[in-house]
Structure 1
C-alpha cells in the first residue's frame, strides 16, 4: 500500500463495478476505509476474508514469492510493472498460474494512455524510417526515498524507461532488439541513473532511447516516430498525440484512464479464464543490461 496503490489503484478499483476491495496488505500502514488489514498475504490467507484476486504493488525484487503464494491459494494475480526482477521468475509464475487455472496479469499502465491505440492504428500501415524516445524525469520528484530502485533488480532509470518501452513495443509495427547500450551508474549505487540504448527493428530501422533520472525543470516523456507518410509524436507519456505538428488527441490528466483501463482488462481476462503476460518490455531492459557498457558517474545523494 505505497504511493502508487493509494494514488492510482484504489481510485481505479472504486470506479470498477466488477471489482470490490475486500482487504489490504502492507508491512506498515493501516486499514483503508475500515476494511480488514493484514501485515502479509499469509495472514490474509489464514483469515476468514474471502478473496478472489490480488493486486501486487510491491517492488519487483520481492514480488515473485508473494505472487507464487497467491497463485497457490487459487487467487488471480495482477502485478504492477515491471512484473518481476527477472524474466525467469515471470515465466515460472506464468506456468504456475496456468497449472492452477488462475489468471495472471503483467500490467503495463503506460499502454493505456489515451494516445497509444490511436498511434498504433496510424502506424500500422506506414513504413517507419526512424524513432527516437526521450524519457527524462527527476527521480527526487517521482521516487523520493525509494532506495529499492537503486538496488539490483530495482531497474534504476529503467523503472520509468520500461514505461516508454511498453508503449514502443505496442505501437511500432515490427519487433526490435538491442544493438548497443551505455549505462551511467552512480559510484554509490547499483542501478543506472541514465542510459542510452540503440535498437534496430527487423527491417533494419534505427530506434534510439535516451533515459535520464537527473532531469530538472520540464520533464520529458516523448516518442517520435518518423515514417514514409509523416511524423508522429506521442508526448506527456502517451497522453498527447501529434501528427505532422498538428495535435490529434490530448488529455492533461495525470495518468488519465491508465489504471481504470488496467482494471477493466484484469476483469476481462478473469472472466475469460485467460492470462495476459507480455514480457517484451522487460526482455528489452534485460538485453540492455546484457549488452550495456557500464560507465561510473558521480555519486547520487538524495
Structure 2
C-alpha cells in the first residue's frame, strides 16, 4: 500500500499527543515534514515556516494544521493556493467567515478541505445518532467540565481573543450534539464568566431550543478539579440516552456500549478515525466542512451576558 505524504503544521501538545500517533498507526499517511519554530519530530524534516515547506516539498500533498485557531487561516489559505489538500484541527478557525472562505477556495481549486471534529468519532456517538433517529427529543442536559491547567498547561492563546476559553473543550460537546440530534437546535441565551485578566470565558451556562418544545442546557466549567466530567443526557419519548466520558460510553434503555478510556484519556481511536476519514475524502475527491458547532459557540458569544469573575492564575502559564 502506498502511503500519502502529509505534513503537520504546529507541533504542540495536541499534535504530539494525538496526531503523530494516529498518523504512525493509521497506515494511510506518512509524516514527511513538519512546520514548527519550537522543534519538530525526530528524523523528520522540519521547516521554520509554511512558505519554506511549500516551496521545498512540492510532493507533500496534504497539510494538517494543529496550530491555535487564531493563526490558522493564513496558513490554510496559502496551502490551498499552493494546491495542497488541508485538514484542520478543531475549531476550524477563529471565525465563521474564515472557514467559509477556505471552503469556497477549496471548492474552486477542486481540493479536499476537512474541518475535523474528533469527538464525533468517540465510540458511543454513531450508536447515539442511530438510536435517536426515530425518537422525539424533549430535553438535553450537557455537563462539560475539566481543568484547563491539566489539559492546556501553560498555553496563553486559549485566553486570547479567538481562543474560545471554555468553549475550546465545550465545542466538542456541541460537535456531538449537532451530529446526533435528529432536529436542529439553536442558542437562546448564555451567561459567560470572564476572568478579569482574560479575553475569553472560563465558565458558561448556555441555553438552547429546538422544534416541538425541545429545550437544552449546557453547564461548562474550565476550572473543574479532579477527573474530567464530560456527559450528555437526552430525554426522549423512548427514554433517556446518556453519553459519558466525552462520548465514549453510550447508555440507552436496556443497553450499554463502550469501554471508556481507562488509563489513557483521549487515546480512544478518535484521531485515527479522523485520518481514515481524511483518506476517504481524498479518494472520493470530496470535502467535509460542518460549521454548526462553531455557529453555536458564536451565537453564545452574541447572545451571552458577560459576568466578570476573579483573575485566572496558572503557575505553569508562560507568555509565548
TM-score by shorter chain over 0.5: yes
1:300 aligns with 2:300: no
Aligned counterpart, 2:283: 271
1:36-73 CA-to-partner distances (Å, cap 9, x unmatched) read 11011111012146201010000000000000000011
Which of 227, 233, 255 is the aligned partner of 1:224? Answer: 233
CA distance in 1 between counterparts of 2:259 and 2:214 reads 28
Give the unaligned 5+ runs of structure 2. 1-10, 315-320
Which of 110, 115, 125 is the aligned partner of 1:116? Answer: 125
List aligned pairs for 1:242-253, cutoff 5 A.
Answer: 242-244=251-253, 247-253=256-262
Aligned counterpart, 1:210: 219
Aligned counterpart, 1:52: 61
1:147 aligns with 2:147: no
Q: CA RMSD in A?
A: 1.2
For residue 250 of structure 1, give the secondary structure of its aligned residue in structure 2.
coil
1:128 aligns with 2:140: no
Q: CA deviation at 1:258?
A: 0.2
TM-score normalized by the length of structure 1: 0.97
CA distance in 2 between counterparts of 1:45 and 1:7 reads 25
* 1:174/1:203 contact within 8 Å kept: no
CA distance in 1 between counterparts of 2:43 and 2:191 reads 48
For residue 34 of structure 1, give the secondary structure of its aligned residue in structure 2.
coil
List aligned pairs for 1:1-302, cutoff 5 A.
Answer: 1-30=11-40, 32-48=41-57, 50-244=59-253, 247-253=256-262, 254-255=265-266, 256-302=268-314
Q: Which range is displaced more, 285-294 or 11-20? A: 11-20
CA distance in 1 between counterparts of 2:155 and 2:79 reads 25
For residue 262 of structure 1, give the secondary structure of its aligned residue in structure 2.
helix
* 1:220/1:236 contact within 8 Å kept: yes
* 1:104/1:275 contact within 8 Å kept: yes
* 2:138/2:213 contact within 8 Å kept: no
* 2:190/2:300 contact within 8 Å kept: yes
Aligned pair in 2 of structure 1 residues 48, 224: CA closer, same or farther (>3 Å)?
Answer: closer
For residue 260 of structure 1, give the secondary structure of its aligned residue in structure 2.
helix
Q: Which range is displaced more, 197-206 or 239-248? A: 239-248
1:141-171 CA-to-partner distances (Å, cap 9, x unmatched) read 1011111000000000000000000000001
Aligned pair in 2 of structure 1 residues 48, 134: CA closer, same or farther (>3 Å)?
Answer: closer
Q: CA deviation at 1:245?
A: 7.6
1:90-113 CA-to-partner distances (Å, cap 9, x unmatched) read 000001111111100000000000
Aligned counterpart, 2:7: none
Q: CA deviation at 1:17?
A: 2.2
For residue 197 of structure 2, give the secondary structure of its aligned residue in structure 1.
coil
For residue 23 of structure 1, give the secondary structure of its aligned residue in structure 2.
strand
CA distance in 2 between counterparts of 1:72 and 1:19 reads 22
TM-score normalized by the length of structure 2: 0.92
Aligned pair in 2 of structure 1 residues 48, 180: CA closer, same or farther (>3 Å)?
Answer: closer
